[in-house]
Amino acid sequence: MLYLNRTPYNSFCISADSNRELARSFLRFQEYYESPNDQFRGQVFTIGQYRYWYEKKYGYFSYETDWTGFNIHSYVLDPFKQGLFDPLTIEEKNLLGLFTNAPQDKFYIIGANDTQTLNHELNHALYAHRQDYANDINKIFDANLEHIKYALEYLLNKGYCRYLLYDELQSYILDADDDILSLIHNTDVVSEVSRLYYEFSEKHYENGYGNRC
């Protein structure tokens, strides 16, 4: 079963009874949004097609354990609502059903079953919601490409989309991820990202928001 809660930055958090259910629910939405493979990003595809590629690339289909957090813009729902991805899976129908009466304006959707993952995904929601925050983050990274190139390469190798690497990098930095921090060769980059986060972030979600996640 899926559960929906309102979270900061004009976002909603979906949680599930298991990580497997959550991954199955988000798979095609997420890969339509940011797959590193052009065959899937922005394209209509079947679960079978995606599974075949994943098994060929990684040796077996481990998506449901490889990925535990998800984030998409609300526009990603549109081709699924329009029937372009029919037949939908039961999990996909359940996810869409959560937004039957959703507001018409743009919003952000995240998937998380625990607080640590929720915090990571909310970093993405902030980046999407506050264009001024995203612009300032991008300027920092643009000015320090030589210092962050190994961190970006690390994220590419983990399976992230090249076009969203700055968004991923800021979120991993805010997680204080040791693997990422060790690959950034200028501590000022980390300090500046942290400073911007505390300038733009909303801490109130800790008091009643997304408490199912």
Helices vs strands, H then E, count in the chain: 11, 4
Residue recorded with tokens 């408490």: 211
Least Cα distance to 114 among 31, 18, 7 occurs for 18
Least Cα distance to 209 among 127, 125, 130, 128 occurs for 125
CA pair distance 40, 51, nearest whole angstrom: 11
pLDDT at 161: 87
The encoded tokens of residue 28 equal 């095609």
pLDDT at 207: 40
Does this model's pTM top 0.75? My answer is: yes
Per-residue pLDDT of the chain (213 residues; tens, 9 = 90+): 999 999 999 999 999 999 999 999 999 999 999 999 999 999 999 999 999 999 999 999 999 999 999 999 999 999 999 999 999 999 999 999 999 887 667 899 999 999 999 999 999 999 999 999 999 999 999 999 999 999 999 999 988 889 999 999 999 999 998 999 999 999 999 999 999 999 998 754 444 444 444
Cα distances (Å, whole numbers) of residue 126 to 4, 11, 13, 47: 19, 9, 13, 30
pLDDT at 203: 58
For strands 108-111 and 11-16, give the pairing.
Answer: parallel
Q: What is the DSSP letter of 89?
A: P
Taking residue 62's Cβ as centre, other Cβ atoms within 10 Å add up to 11
The encoded tokens of residue 121 equal 């995904």
Least Cα distance to 12 among 205, 165, 200 occurs for 205
